[in-house]
Structure 1
Amino acid sequence: MTAEAGAVTVRDASTDAPAAASPVVDPYAERAAPRGRFLYALNPLAKLAAPMPVMFALIFTRGVVIPTVLIVATMLLLFVGAKLGARTMVGLLVGTPLAVAVLGLSFGIWVDPARVDGSSAAASVVLLEIGDWRFTLAAYLVGLATALRIAALVLLSLLAGLTTGGPELVRAMVQNLRVPYRIGYTALAALRFVPRFGHELEVIRAAHRVRGTDHGRGPIAWLRRTVGLAIPLLASAIRHAERVALAMDARAFGAHRTRTERTVSRWRARDTVFVVAFWIAAGALYWWVLSAGVDGGFAV
């Protein structure tokens, strides 16, 4: 077996003829962006910088028009610019309205009646009455506005969350924001511990099932199983942390102020266009709502 030009050539022992060559797989290679999905081609920082001022303004916004428009626009951006699975699309289309309805009801129940405008027509519409307590449409609308703001904040964060990986974000922060690479890549290594722990937990559970030590019901059995999982999981975590530390030391991680990067993260003109266009569209929405007086504007 010989390695030539980045490929591995396997020779047949009987004929000494080269078999089919298989290229060396790079586990850190960049994933090809889906065609026609422009969000993957943007710099991760652009996908953070564009919605961030809008998310900050949403905190001080009241009413239902602005968050509703932002929810619809963000969903359209995700459907057009990101490659979403069927479950994710169903979750966005079905889960978002359900979550807004449930949260709106929950927040509306806890609204202080003194903060509800009693002169509005919605205040006279009673949805539920138990004794002296009344749940009015005005209280529900206050809770609904809060729920819509939360949903808009979550969806805006998904612009970067669904189209950006951890390594991509770290590279962009280190190279474009000049975050010290010791901090960036150390945080990335810590985040990668989470899926590792999940895999180790499944291995330990499988071993317990093979040995027949996972039987029993009730709180005592659950506590016994939890303790039996925690100790080997902690030992595995310590071993993994030691291996990661030794690997980082062997590569002289942190020995110099700068380091070379295998993949360069650039801020391109399209990133600037996306950020500016996003800000202009959001500013136009706020200007229209405030000038037309169709919403509550900003909370004080």
Structure 2
Amino acid sequence: MSDPFALTTGAPRYFLSRLNPLAKLAAVLPFMLWLLLVRDVWTPFLFLILAMVTILIGARLSWRTLLLLVAGLPAVVFVLSLSFGLWTDASRVDTTPLVFQLGEFRFFRGAWLIGLATALRLGAVLALALIPGLTTTGPDLVRASVEHLRVPYRVGYTALAAYRFVPRFRHDLDLIRQAHRVRGVSGGRGPVAGIRRALGYVVPLLAGAIRHAERVSFAMDSRAFGAHESRTERHLLPLQVRDGVFVGLFWLCGAGLLVLAAQLG
């Protein structure tokens, strides 16, 4: 099954994909932390728009991702705003206009605004995280961290090896399911049968993971991994002028949005 959060294969690399992973993190991380502190509606709303525009312009995405960004994310924000608003104490907002009433339950506009502010913060943080998340691979992030943040390569490439386990687990799980179907192994139907089948996958998956880890360990030892303080990188991810330009422009736009939100609020 294809990953809906993926760049279209064979497509030209847009500018976000050409940037250094650390530059994209440096651009969005300060504002992600700032959004955790604000309580108004306009600040997360403006940053949500900024993040979506940046992604739509800077990355070539599959149609599923475009649909999730344009329609799915706003829909989730709206549903969450109602959900959070329902948990708001009515006595705090009973001076605002009444939106609807069901029996003794009353839903006020102030409660919805409180829920909307919380939902927008979550949506904006998620959208900002998608800027590096949709256009950066795990190996590139590890290589950039080792190269520029002086993360010990023993730690970085151990994390990279663990990252490689994820598709390996998926492949092994598909093989186990196919083997069970060929041998006629079935636990019946229904949720209980599904749980029973899932538990039957645990032991072979664990055995395959141990074998794979052993092979990786032998391969790393045979290449003298960790025997030296540093290593020569084959794939370099240098910080270039365009990375600094992107970070500076993003911070400038973010500062302008903060001023605009303060005026609107």
Fold equivalence (TM over 0.5): yes
Q: 1:153 is aligned with what amino acid?
A: V
Contact 1:34–1:40 under 8 Å retained in 2: no
Residues 68/207 of structure 1: CA separation in 2 closer, same or farther (3 Å cut): same
The answer (yes or no) to whether the contact 2:90–2:107 under 8 Å persists in 1 is: no
Check if 1:34 corresponds to 2:12: yes
- Which aligned runs of 4 or more in structure 1 are off by greater than 4 angstroms? none
Name stretches of at least 5 consecutive residues in structure 2 with no aligned partner. 1-8
Q: Aligned-pair distance for 1:220?
A: 5.0
Equivalent position of 2:127 in the other structure: 155
1:216 is matched with 188
1:185 to 147, 153, 157: 157
Who is 1:62 aligned against?
39
Measure how far apart 1:127 and its partner are: 2.0
Q: How far does residue 285 in structure 1 lie from its aligned partner after superposition?
A: 1.3
Give the Cα separation in 2 of the matches to 1:249 and 1:141: 58
Deviation at 1:85, TM superposition (A): 0.4
* Aligned equivalent of 1:237: 209
State whether structure 2 residue 75 is matched by structure 1 residue 98. yes
> Structure 2: how far apart are the matches of 1:246 and 1:61?
50
RMSD of aligned C-alpha atoms? 1.8
CA distance in 2, matches of 1:281, 1:108: 30
2:99 aligned to 114, 122, 126, which one? 126
Bigger Cα Rg = 1
Whose helix proportion is higher, 1 or 2? 2
Match of 1:72 among 49, 59, 67: 49
Seq. identity, %: 53
Give the gaps of 5 or more residues in structure 1: 1-30, 296-300
Q: C-alpha separation between the residues in 2 aligned to 1:282 and 1:154?
A: 16
Please give the per-residue CA displacement for 1:122-156, whole angstroms capped at 9, x wherever unaligned.
x232323332x321111011101111111110010
Distance verdict in 2 for CA 1:279–1:33, change over 3 Å: farther
Residues 219 and 165 (structure 1), Cα distance of their counterparts in 2 relative to 1, 3 Å cut: closer
Q: Equivalent residues in 2 for 1:1-300 (5 A)?
A: 34-35=12-13, 37-116=14-93, 118-119=94-95, 123-131=96-104, 133-218=105-190, 221-290=193-262, 292=263, 294-295=264-265
Q: Deviations over 1:65-112 (max 9, x none)?
A: 222221222111111111100100011111011101111111111113
How many residue pairs align between the two structures? 257
Inter-CA distance 125–268: structure 2 relative to 1 (3 Å threshold)? same
User: Which has the higher mean CA deviation after the structures are superposed, 268-277 or 43-52?
Assistant: 268-277
Provide the C-alpha distance between the structure 2 equivalents of 1:183 and 1:130, rounded to a whole number of angstroms.
59
Alignment check: 8 A CA contact 1:75 1:155 kept: yes
